[in-house]
Chain A
């Protein structure tokens, strides 16, 4: 079903905004959103909707406020101005209908935690008391493990699992409670290319099956380029949103950054060159300033299926 390469990727994208399922239900609505820390203005006048089943990649330089945007949606950070509504009402802390997948961090050896326990925390980890074994809970956890292909290592200590396996479990954990919106904060970071592919395909499959809205913060769009419907690009205090073809263009990003930026498309990959340093950026560039290019030919194209 999935074929890689520039042409098919573009074809896939073109049909996304088309009336496949006509006007879809809005999961998250942001109007006039602004976030400011003291003098530092991250973004302002932010307007966008996330619709059910829509996969939106959030791109931008370090310090452009990508992760802060997720924090606002999670209710951990207040907007400086504007409104943000999830399923029609203002965002609140600890909403069970929002799943969250952070970047993979190697789990500590000091914790008694197996694969199934990590997923179970998503099911009822927020409740007080002891996690008493119940048949219904067990069935739910088993079903989640199965749906992300993690049954094989359900009883293995999380600290001994690979990064890709841990991220599969995190997807299962985030899907507990039947969320309507999935927030992913660099979930592919520190994974190798095969696992990047596998984990992003897993997220893609579930958003289609469950009609989930997905906001996917990433510094590198390429692993998910053929899956995303739209791109939200944050830079220079402002933003652009649209299909990858509309946003990932030299003239659009140059205008956004206020300085010349080149977007190069090659072998179905997008490379952005010449991004100015962000206010607090350490490694300077937004995404893949050429550093991923050597991987491109062998890894991205058609090796898997």
Chain B
């Protein structure tokens, strides 16, 4: 049974013949990856500080259901996944103000979404390659209209985040005081859920709904290991996400494997390296504490 052709396996995973031509052909995918990295890395910081990793996963499953329904009814995958994400994000936002409520609502929604998606895919008569792309990502050429819609949505998310950045930070890390100081905590939380829904919908297009966490959570979690500066962390998080996505797409170009294993592996490797850096700093006792001169 063990007659695996290692050379063949290797060429399926890594294959760089005609690489130059492929890069040109998949230029759109690479741009999409870079844009997505910026969005994912940026919103990931808030996903972490609001403790919303599980919510991201829940939204992505409903986004998958929406995309599958879009495929089945011929409405379009992008439109379907947008509707699915936003509905899920708003349900979680309105019903899950407390984290305990939120987790149970997500746990209820998630399998329902996944089941609905599987039902739509099972009924869909088209090619099966399209089907699994929604779950695990696809390296099919991103055509121009699709790239445009992805960029447009990403711009909305980034601008939205920049506008609410400061009060959203306040509300995320210190809700009681923020609310005492007149920050509209509840409204901001709904605005954030909307932006998160949009970000998840675009991510599902490229990495698939099962692996959205690797873009929206892992890079920010890695960045938080090595810094606690509110400026450095978002920048690093974006850098990590772009590296994972663009690097993953570049490696995946020639092989016949979906892009997601490459993306998730790079993103995981970055996280591991950041943890090692943090651990070695802790061992050396680097804390950032300043010794005050004893001149008083």
Complex Cα distance A174/B162, Å?
25
Tell me if A125 and B224 are in contact (CB < 8 A): no
Q: Cβ of A76 < 8 Å from any Cβ of B?
A: yes
Task: Find residues 109-157 in chain A having any chain B CB closer than 8 Å to their own CB.
Answer: 109-114, 117-118, 121-122, 124-131, 133, 151-157
Complex Cα distance A108/B228, Å?
12
Q: Cβ of B164 < 8 Å from any Cβ of A?
A: yes
- Known interface pairs A112-B224, A112-B227; A128-B167 also in contact (CB < 8 Å): yes
Q: Cβ of B176 < 8 Å from any Cβ of A?
A: yes
Q: Which 5 A-B pairs have the closest CB atoms?
A: A94-B182, A125-B170, A157-B228, A111-B49, A112-B233
Tell me if B290 and A126 are in contact (CB < 8 A): no
Nearest A residue (CB) for B164: A128
- Known interface pairs A100-B177, A102-B176, A122-B181; A112-B291 also in contact (CB < 8 Å): no
Task: Find residues 281-295 in chain B having any chain A CB closer than 8 Å to their own CB.
Answer: 287-292
Tell me if A108 and B183 are in contact (CB < 8 A): no
Tell me if A156 and B182 are in contact (CB < 8 A): no
Tell me if A155 and B290 are in contact (CB < 8 A): yes
Main secondary structure on B side of the interface with A = helix
Tell me if B45 and A100 are in contact (CB < 8 A): no
Nearest B residue (CB) for A121: B170
Cβ of A203 to closest chain B Cβ, rounded Å: 15
Convert B200-220 into 0s and 1s, putting 1 for each residue whose CB lies closer than 8 angstroms to a CB of A.
000000000000000000000
Tell me if A131 and B181 are in contact (CB < 8 A): no
- Known interface pairs A111-B172, A112-B45, A113-B173; A156-B289 also in contact (CB < 8 Å): yes
Cβ of B213 to closest chain A Cβ, rounded Å: 14
Task: Find residues 224-257 in chain B having any chain A CB closer than 8 Å to their own CB.
Answer: 224, 227-234
Tell me if A125 and B169 are in contact (CB < 8 A): yes
- Known interface pairs A130-B166, A156-B289; A113-B182 also in contact (CB < 8 Å): no
Tell me if A76 and B170 are in contact (CB < 8 A): no
| Choice from A95, A102, A112, A170 contacting B228 with Cβ under 8 Å | A112
In the complex, which of the residues A76, A121, A155, A174 has the most CB atoms of chain B within 10 Å of its own CB atom?
A121
Q: How many interface residues does A have (CB within 8 Å)? A: 44
Tell me if A126 and B181 are in contact (CB < 8 A): yes
Some 7 contacts from A to B, beta carbons below 8 A apart, are A94-B181, A107-B173, A113-B230, A130-B162, A170-B177, A173-B177, A174-B177
Complex Cα distance A125/B167, Å?
5
Tell me if A128 and B224 are in contact (CB < 8 A): no
Cβ of B277 to closest chain A Cβ, rounded Å: 15
Tell me if A156 and B163 are in contact (CB < 8 A): no
Tell me if B167 and A126 are in contact (CB < 8 A): yes
Cβ of B146 to closest chain A Cβ, rounded Å: 30
Q: Cβ of A259 < 8 Å from any Cβ of B?
A: no
Task: Find residues 53-70 in chain A having any chain B CB closer than 8 Å to their own CB.
Answer: none
Convert B165-194 into 0s and 1s, putting 1 for each residue whose CB lies closer than 8 angstroms to a CB of A.
111011011101111111100000000000
Nearest A residue (CB) for B183: A126
Convert A78-108 into 0s and 1s, putting 1 for each residue whose CB lies closer than 8 angstroms to a CB of B.
0000000000000001111010101000011
Q: Cβ of B48 < 8 Å from any Cβ of A?
A: yes
Q: Cβ of B143 < 8 Å from any Cβ of A?
A: no
